[in-house]
A = this chain, B = another copy of it.
Amino acid sequence: MTSVPKLTDHTGYWMRMVSNAVSQEFARKVSGEDVTVAEWSFMRSLYDSEPTPPSVLAKKMAMTKGAISKLAERLMAKGLVEKTESQEDRRAHNLSLTTEGRAKIPVLASLADQNDADFFGVLTKEEHETLDRIMRVLAEKRDLKATPVD
């Protein structure tokens, strides 16, 4: 018998399901701070290297510059990010967190910690470590460096 494999026969299927659930739950958590997952990712990336041009953020987050442009605009509208014109290059500008934006970082980070704990806390320490290691191996093999967002 040559039966067609089921959706559930693939590891990718389960990973997508779990990953989506993790993201959705995290989205729910951060929505209390009036922020989306993409916005958190943007802000956390910025936190490491302010001020930073949009083009660098785009690379870091593996998003198009168009998407970054719109994301930055939303964050500026919320007063969490600000733009400063570049001196050297009149096309360019740099993005930074506002005081308000920076103040949110530890709050959001602790929600991220909490989310990981909520999902992976059911695993044994060893299982969790194994999972983490395998994910990093897979990312490494594919040369995945960016911050995924959706």
Contact = CB atoms under 8 A, between A and B. Distances in A.
Interface of A: 4-7, 10-23, 26, 41, 44-45, 47-48, 105-106, 109, 112-113, 115-116, 119-120, 122-123, 127-128, 130-132, 134-139, 141-142, 144, 146-148, 150
A139 B44 CA distance: 28
| Number of copies of this chain that the complex holds | 2
A122 to B, nearest CB: 5
Contact of A113 (B10, B18, B106, B130): B10
20 contacts: A4-B47, A5-B112, A6-B44, A7-B41, A7-B112, A11-B120, A12-B115, A13-B148, A15-B22, A16-B19, A16-B148, A17-B135, A17-B144, A17-B146, A18-B135, A21-B142, A119-B138, A122-B137, A130-B134, A150-B150
Contacts of A131: 11, 131, 134
B18 A144 contact: yes
Contacts of A106: 4
A41 B18 CA distance: 16
B10 A112 contact: yes
